[in-house]
């Protein structure tokens, strides 16, 4: 009898551990999106920690909103921005509640939500940008802290010093993903000739799809 009980407990423990392992794996799974452009492909992950932005972006992608849309604002050493529909509609007419997390910052390659000026810092339902960025030294970051009051971890400061980004945006815009492949494509787009409003003189079209793992 004791042996039977012991074996049952071991079996139950095994099932529990296996279930926990599956839950953990599921929790770690991240959505990957593929941004196909005239200059090549950009692959990015969407953070699970910003679920409202993740789910909305997935919805917009699946609806075909971005099919044939363009990068309409490009500023070298800062960012490239898209988000209008393929038919030229600016946004879907709603906003997403801000999900600003201190662990996600505007490093080079960050995928972020654009917005209009509003006290709640709510994001546009479709507008997004990818940080191209530049590097900063300690003095510049210290001066920025004095002006904004935003503090960075030592690790984040190192990223801004070595990799680059746009630290002045931290704390004001939601970062909901990051580029994992294709930063060379971002570099190419960021270097195109632009005109009024930082709009590329020649349209840079894109299509966005969800990548099946």
Residue 121 contacts by C-beta under 8 Å, 6 or more apart in sequence? Answer: 98, 100, 115, 172, 173, 174
* Model pTM score: 0.87
Query: Burial letters for 12-37: b for 16+ Cβ neighbours within 10 Å, e otherwise?
Result: eeeeeeeeeeeeeeeeeeebbbbbbb
Give me the average pLDDT of each 10-residue run along the chain (213 residues). Answer: 44 44 55 97 98 98 98 98 96 97 98 98 98 98 95 98 98 98 98 98 98 77
For Cα atoms 117, 31, 159, give the angle at the middle one, nearest 5 degrees: 60
């Amino acid at each position: 009898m004791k042996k039977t009980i012991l074996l049952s407990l071991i079996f139950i423990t095994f099932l529990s551990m296996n279930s926990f392992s599956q839950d953990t794996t599921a929790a770690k799974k991240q959505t990957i999106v593929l941004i196909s452009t005239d200059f090549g492909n950009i692959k990015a992950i969407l953070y699970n920690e910003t679920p409202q932005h993740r789910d909305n972006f997935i919805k917009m992608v699946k609806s075909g909103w971005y099919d044939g849309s363009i990068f309409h604002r490009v500023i070298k050493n800062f960012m490239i921005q898209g988000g209008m529909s393929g038919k030229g509609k600016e946004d879907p007419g709603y906003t997403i509640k801000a999900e600003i997390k201190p662990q996600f910052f505007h490093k080079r390659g960050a995928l972020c939500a654009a917005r209009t000026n509003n006290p709640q810092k709510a994001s546009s339902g479709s507008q997004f940008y990818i940080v191209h960025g530049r590097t900063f030294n300690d003095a510049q970051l210290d001066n920025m802290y004095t002006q904004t009051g935003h503090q960075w971890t030592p690790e984040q400061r190192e990223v801004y010093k070595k990799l680059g980004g746009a630290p002045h945006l931290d704390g004001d815009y939601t970062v909901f993903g990051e580029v994992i492949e294709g930063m060379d494509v971002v570099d190419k787009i960021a270097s195109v000739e632009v005109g009024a409003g930082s709009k590329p003189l020649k349209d840079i079209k894109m299509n966005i799809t969800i990548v099946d793992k």
